[in-house]
Structure formats: structure tokens, C-alpha cells
Amino acid sequence: MKVLMFSSDPGAQERMRKYGEILDKLEIVFFDRSRGRFSRFFKGYFEAKRILAGERYDLITAQEIEHSFLAWLLSRKFGVPWQMQIHTDIFSSHYVEHSMFNRIRVWLAKFLIPRANCVRVASERIKKSIQRPDAIVLPIFEAIKDMGGANIKEKYPGYDFYILMVGRLSREKNFSLALSAMREIIKKYPQTLLVIAGEGPERKKIEKEILYGLEANVRLEGWQENLSGYYQTSDCLLLTSDYEGYGMAAVEALSYGLPVVMTDVGVAGEIVKNGENGIVVPVGDRTKLAEAILRLRGEKELKTKLAEGAKRTNFPYKSFEEYREKLIAPFRACQK
């Protein structure tokens, strides 16, 4: 089977190369921003067109809404089936509110979803929202490795409760909600520390918010190559997103036995189960979020229970090979 894949993540080339090991051929067209914010789509389209004109492929698979539009155009031109992948909760009201471009993407998705030969989504939450009963739910795979790394408690001594956040510093992650909740938490427990590992466009905004009473209780770590030590030495992971397709940080945390406090997005209810291995609160609710952390902070029995639950969490895959097989199977089914 020959597959043409559209991706915006050149950093995943090694993983994608392994997909190709069990295919006759896997050709990847990258739409990363190094090719230009808008021109990348034109460049990618003409590159894909050239590839399809020179050789017959069995499937086009696209990872983002814009990519899917190009896949649909090329499918019509060359008569090749195409798979639409949806990794974000695009029909969340919060997603729509975030930008004009998101509103355009939602309109485009409504047009494309019924026209795709097959659809893959990252979570049950997304499947329910897109109204494609035949959509395949295939969560994202990330290998979890114990690589040592920084011990947060040794790096920042003098605190007695350590909260970890991991993710891109972008608007939809709603770090402002976490900082607002922290102001309530330190009123009762001033020796609480929030460590944020990540980088992104919201960094300066977050830095300014920290200046309002949180200088002693928040640390911005920047992007980290190795997060193993962070997960292993924190007391809980916090995720405050307005929307998520999945929520890889939450899954990673659970794999290290770290309880999760998160908004009701992505894998909440699917992998992170309220009262079993984490606490799930309504999106954007500062009061409920602060209450959840205060409970975890103040009730040792609850913290122990959730940590034990985290260790018993059932994950979608036991190995990369299992994930790869489940990834490729829908490729073949999409041809029928």
C-alpha cells in the first residue's frame, strides 16, 4: 500500500519513518511554518500534485483541517481516497471563540467531514461532536521513558506541595485560569509551588500576570527536552485548557503515577476519571479548580487514592508496534 501523508510536524519524521516500515511506500509532505505561514499551503499542494502525477498512491491522509481541504482537492483530481484526521475538539464552543481562523476552520470542517472517505479522531469526545458514526478513534501515542532528569523538589526547596503544568504557552491552554486559582490556593497554603514547563506566544502575558502576587509561587521553566524527573517529583499535574483533542500531558502524568487535575476537555472522562485517578472540573471555572487543588492539597487520603489510581490506569496501547498496527489498519479500510 502506498500512502501520501500531509503533516505540519517535521519533528515527528523518525516516528513516521517507522510507519512506512509496514507499508509499500510512505511519502510525507510537510506544511511546517518554515515554508511560510501561508505560502506553505501552496508549496505543499504543488509538491503533492507533482508526487501524485508521477506515481499512483492508494491513500492521502491529512492531519489538519487546512491539509484536509488540499487532500480533498487532490482526491478529486487524481481519484485517490483520502482520510481526514481530527486531533482537536473543533466543535467546542471555546475553539470557535478563540479566533477568526478557528471559525473558518469549523466551517471548512463541516464541509469536509461528510466528503472524507474515512475519518480518524483522537478521542471519543471528538467522535461524538463530528457526527460521523464510522469515525475511528485512535488516540495519539507517545513513548514514555524514564530518563531521570530534574528533581523539582531539589531544584526548588522550601515548598511542601508542587504542581506541574506541561504544554505550549498558548491561549487555548488558559494558563491565566491556573494563575488565578493559585492566588486562592496560596492564601491557605503559601508553601505551594506551580512549575510551568513549556514555551510559546503567551509567555510575556504569563510573566506579567505572575508579577501580581505570584513571584514566590510560580516558576516558568521554558521548553524541556526531558520531563521524566518533573513528573516523578511533582504532587499533581494541572491542565486548564479551554479545549483539547486529547491531552498528552495528562496521559504522560498518569503513566508516572501522578494524579491529574484538569478541565473537562480531551481525555477527561475517557482516561482521566474523576475521583479515580484525577479530578475533573468545568472549563473556565476558577472556583471549582481552586477547590479541587485545595482538596488534593489538604486531604492526604485523597492524594494517595488518586496516585494509586493513576498507577492502575489503562492506556490505549502497550507498545508503539500495537499503535502502528491500529494506525495502518484504517488506511487499508479507507480504500474499500
Under the banding of pLDDT at 50, 70 and 90, the label for residue 335 is confident
- In this prediction, residues 137-157 reach a mean pLDDT of 84
Number of folded domains that form the chain: 2
Least confident of 33-42, 116-125, 301-310: 33-42
Under the banding of pLDDT at 50, 70 and 90, the label for residue 240 is very high
- Note the pLDDT of residue 145: 67
Q: Which domain holds residue 36?
A: 2-141+318-333
Same domain, 237 and 275: yes
SS3 string of the chain? CEEEEEECCHHHHHHHHHHHCCCCEEEEEECCHHHCCCHHHHHHHHHHHHHHHHCCCCEEEECCHHHHHHHHHHHHHHCCCEEEEECCCCCCHHHHHHCHHHHHHHHHHHHHHHHCCEEEECCHHHHHHHCCCCCEECCCCCCCCCCCCCCHHHHCCCCCEEEEEECCCCHHHCHHHHHHHHHHHHHHCCCEEEEEECCCCCHHHHHHHHCCCCCCCEEEEECCCCCHHHHHHCCEEEECCCCCCCCHHHHHHHHCCCCEEEECCCCECCCECECCCEEEECCCCHHHHHHHHHHHHHCHHHHHHHHHHHHCCCCCCCCHHHHHHHHHHHHHHCCC
- In this prediction, residues 218-245 reach a mean pLDDT of 95
Residue 21 has pLDDT above 70, yes or no: yes
Residue 146 has pLDDT above 70, yes or no: no
Same domain, 130 and 159: no
Q: Quick check: is 58 in a domain?
A: yes
Q: Quick check: is 288 in a domain?
A: yes
- In this prediction, residues 113-137 reach a mean pLDDT of 94
222: its cell numbers: 521554558
Same domain, 161 and 283: yes
- Please, what sign has the CA dihedral across residues 88, 91, 95, 96? positive
Residue 134 has pLDDT above 80, yes or no: yes
**Which residue, chain included where needed, has cell 513528573?**
231
Same domain, 201 and 113: no
* CATH value at residue 288: 3.40.50.2000
Angle at 125 between CA 121 and CA 128, to 5 degrees: 85
Q: Quick check: is 146 in a domain?
A: no
- In this prediction, residues 221-250 reach a mean pLDDT of 94
pTM listed for this prediction: 0.90
The residue among 143 and 83 whose pLDDT is bigger is: 83
Residue 292 has pLDDT above 70, yes or no: yes
Taking the C-alpha atoms of residue 237 and residue 152, their distance in angstroms, rounded to an integer, is 13
Same domain, 76 and 205: no
Residue 19 has pLDDT above 80, yes or no: yes
Between the alpha carbon of residue 234 and those of residues 203, 237, 303, the distances in Å are 22, 7, 12
Same domain, 193 and 294: yes
Same domain, 38 and 181: no
Mean pLDDT of the residues in the chain:
93
Q: Quick check: is 222 in a domain?
A: yes
- Note the pLDDT of residue 262: 98
**Which residue, chain included where needed, has cell 508579577?**
211
For residue range 183-213, what is the model confidence (pLDDT) as tens digits?
999 999 999 999 999 999 999 999 999 999 9
The residue among 18 and 69 whose pLDDT is bigger is: 69
Same domain, 86 and 233: no
Residue 99 has pLDDT above 80, yes or no: yes
Same domain, 198 and 73: no
Same domain, 131 and 191: no
Under the banding of pLDDT at 50, 70 and 90, the label for residue 14 is confident
Q: Quick check: is 103 in a domain?
A: yes
Q: Quick check: is 84 in a domain?
A: yes
Same domain, 92 and 130: yes
Q: Quick check: is 147 in a domain?
A: no
Residue 147 has pLDDT above 80, yes or no: no
- In this prediction, residues 83-100 reach a mean pLDDT of 93
Q: Quick check: is 176 in a domain?
A: yes
Taking the C-alpha atoms of residue 70 and residue 41, their distance in angstroms, rounded to an integer, is 8
The strand pair at 2-7 and 25-30 is best described as parallel
For residue range 149-187, what is the model confidence (pLDDT) as tens digits?
789 999 999 999 999 999 999 999 999 999 999 999 999
For residue range 27-79, what is the model confidence (pLDDT) as tens digits?
999 998 888 888 999 999 999 999 999 999 999 999 899 999 999 999 999 99
Same domain, 114 and 68: yes
Taking the C-alpha atoms of residue 41 and residue 143, their distance in angstroms, rounded to an integer, is 30
